[in-house]
Amino acid sequence: MVTTPVTSIMFEEYLTYDDGNGSHYELVDGRLELMNPPTIQHFLIVDFLDTALKAEIKRCSLPWLCLRESGVRTGRNKSRLTDLCIVTLEQARELMNVSAVFQSPPLLIVEVVSSESVKRDYRYKRSEYAALEVPEYWVVDPQAAKISVLLLEEGLYEEMVFTASQLIISRTFPELAIAVAQVLDAGNLG
């Protein structure tokens, strides 16, 4: 994670910030933090979950969308980029022609841990998403071969950890039947 030369930026400026090099940034306490490009393993896991969650939304006829790399405002001058998030159609309509940075909590956020994002995904995003009142947050960790599902209870996350052939238990998707091994195996090329 490298911090760009911009020393301070307000949330409103972040919404239209473009340095011309195609990089993605999170806004952390008014500072831009460069997000490194994901690995192929990361892309494959996100793609698998995106497909599975979209299929479940369609199967259940839910008025929701599954979006990749959308922003979520987590503080006055803070915005995080999610790997996946589930939002209502109403939330999406509010941002139809502006930067996709949600200021209301998504129903579910999924982050896939990479070697440089361990502290960010497990600690910082966890506390920021809880403060925003995101009801459910998944941390997919290929290195540790586990998926943590965090459910918001009275302002704090209660954590359930799933491994191997265990099925992920989700409050948002109670009928979803995906094992951790399926998710992690999706990150392999064969």
* Strand ranges, E, within 2-63: 24-28, 31-35
Domain limits at 123?
Answer: 38-185
CA dihedral 169, 173, 176, 182 (to 10 degrees): -70
Q: Is residue 10 part of a domain?
A: no
Mean pLDDT in residue range 110-129:
93
The chain-wide mean pLDDT, for the chain, equals 94
Report yes or no on 51 lying in a domain: yes
- The reply to whether 79 falls in a domain is yes
Average the pLDDT over 56-77 and give the result.
97
The yes-or-no verdict on residue 66 having pLDDT over 90 is: yes
pLDDT at 22: 84
pLDDT at residue 6 is higher than 70: no
User: Which residues are CB-neighbours of 39 under 8 A, at least 6 positions away?
Assistant: 114
Among residues 185, 186, 160, which one has the least CA distance to residue 171? 160
Whether residue 54 is contained in a domain is answered as yes
Q: Is residue 21 pLDDT above 90, yes or no?
A: no
- The answer to whether residue 156 sits within a structural domain is yes
How many domains in the chain? 1
User: Is 64 a member of any domain?
Assistant: yes
- The pTM of the full predicted model, rounded to 2 decimals, is 0.93
- Taking the CB of residue 12, how many other CB atoms lie within 10 A of it? 9
Q: Cα(109)–Cα(102) distance, rounded to whole angstroms?
A: 12
Average pLDDT of span 85-99: 95
112 falls within a domain: yes
Q: How confident is the model at residue 3 (pLDDT cuts 50, 70, 90)?
A: very low
The DSSP string of 124-175 is: IHHHHHHHHT-SEEEEEETTTTEEEEEEEETTEEEEEEEETTPBPP-SSSTT
| Percent residues over pLDDT 70 in the chain | 96
Residue 94 counted as domain residue: yes
CATH of the domain at 114: 3.90.1570.10
Region 118-144 average pLDDT: 96
